[in-house]
Structure formats: structure tokens, C-alpha cells
Amino acid sequence: MLNLKITIDEQSGFCFGVVYAVEMAESMLEEQDYLFCLGDIVHNDEEVKRLEMKGLRIIDHSQFKNLKNEKVLIRAHGEPPSTYQTALNNNIELIDASCPVVLKLQNRIKNSYDKSEKILIYGKHGHAEVIGLLGQTNNEAQVFQDLDEININQLPQKITVYSQTTKSTDKFYEIIDGLKNTGFEVDVNDTICRQVSNRDVSLRKFSMQFDKIIFVSGSKSSNGKVLYKVCKDTNENTFFVSNVGDLNKSIFSENESVGICGATSTPMWLMEAVKEKLLEY
């Protein structure tokens, strides 16, 4: 036995937006045998599998367009206006679990678009939340992840910048400074969710306390990639796993302290399962 000393980060796990969506899905599945969900309810394959066992049916937008007279859950990431129009046309009842923070951001972007502002969105191309944000601008806003993606010669002097809610705060302000230094007048909208961004600080403190860090996250999670890097930068002995099967006993030594943490899309039960497996070593 390696006699590992294991601690789970109490501040890791689902953000309130994901908790709301998952609880809504579970509540509906107690009343009916199945429930459609437009896209993965959360970017964590293990949690998706758990809910599919209860009757959740994940569908994409092409399948959604062919549905009629059904109930469909909208996940925390939110959806563009076209989704709501399809639901209206096809007599689909939407169970809207869009995160309140995302909905507020959508409304702000829509207001800027209605004022004919030039809108830039700092976010991941193709991300579900970003698709919903773009929809508020009739897909006219420009999405970017780095300054070199922006053709500054085609921008007006005054621009409006928003951010996907789960992006890095430091990187966002680095980009804002870059735009201002180039000479642009920037209307800055810091729309990063603080429940997410504040985990940067707490994870740095957490990661420093242990010999090894096991970061648990789905491979699709943007937030997971950001927070894993935070841990890795703080403690080079940080290892990314998506499930218990990814664990490697050979990386541990006797009597080491191990911290387990995860993304805002990582369920606490999965981190508990990782802990139980490590205790077997």
C-alpha cells in the first residue's frame, strides 16, 4: 500500500449553472421516462452517461429540427434565437435551463447589436455558449481567441468587446490592453463569470499544498483546460484524468499527499470515485 494522503478540493465541482441544469433534468426524469437534451448537458462524458442511464437523450440541432410535439431541455450554455423559433414552429416545449449569467450576457450583446456597435467576442470558436451569443447579433459579431486573429485594418475606431463567461480573466485583460495600445477606443464588458474565474486563485493555493495534483475534467470542457493549466503552472506534478480508468499508479510514491480538483463541469461524485481508487493503491 502506498498510504496516500488524499484531499478533495471542496470548491471544485459544478458551478451553479450546471447544478441548475442537472437538477432540472433529474426532476423531469422522475416524472417521465425520457427527456431530450439539445447537446451534452455538461461537458463531462461520465456525467452524461449517468444521466443517459436515467433516460436523458442527447440530440444535436439537426435532430432537434425534425422533432415535433416533444419536450427538450436547453442546457446551461444557452441557445441562439433560432432555436426558440424552431421550437415554436414544431410545437416543442423547451425546458430552459440556460445559466442566468449567460442569459444576462446574451441580453447585453443584443442591446449592443441593436445600437449598431461593432462587437467582438473573446471566446472559443464553435463553443455552445458562443454560438448562442453570436445568434444575438445575427452572426455578425467577430469571435476570436487571440489578437492575431483580428484584422485591425477592418475595424472601426470604436469597438465593443465581450467575453465568453468561462474564459481566463488575465488573458481577457491582456487582450483589452493590446487593443487599447493599438489605438482603439474599447467599450470593455467583463462578462466572465466570477464563480468560474475566482477558482483560479483558489486552485493556485490548493495546488501548492500537495505533492501531486489529480485534475478531473471532461476533455471537451473549455473551463477544464483553463483550470488544468492553472494547476499545472502552480504544481508541475499535476495530472489530467477524465475518469478513474485514466489513473496511473506508477506516478505515485509512498506517503505522498495528493490533491483532487476539477472543472466547473466535473461532478463531485466523480472526484469521490477517483479518491476511492487512489485509496486502493
108 three-state secondary structure = helix
Which residues 6+ apart lie within 8 Å of 167 measured at CB?
Answer: 122, 123, 124, 192, 222, 226
CA 267, 272, 274 angle in degrees (round to 5)? 100
Looking at residue 225, its amino acid is K
Nearest to 196 by CA among 125, 266, 119, 133: 266
Looking at residue 84, its amino acid is Y
HSE of 129 in the Cβ direction (CA atoms, 13 Å)?
33
Tell me which residue has cell 485509496: 279
Nearest to 161 by CA among 181, 141, 135, 139: 141
> Strand pairing partners for 35?
56
Q: Which of 26, 30, 129, 149 is catalytic?
A: 129
Query: Is 129 a known active-site residue?
Result: yes
The answer to whether residues 41 and 52 touch, using CB atoms and an 8 Å cutoff, is: no
Looking at residue 273, its amino acid is A
d(CA 138, CA 49): 34
Give the distance, in angstroms, between the CA of residue 123 and the centroid of all CA atoms in the same chain: 11
- Catalytic annotation, residues: 129
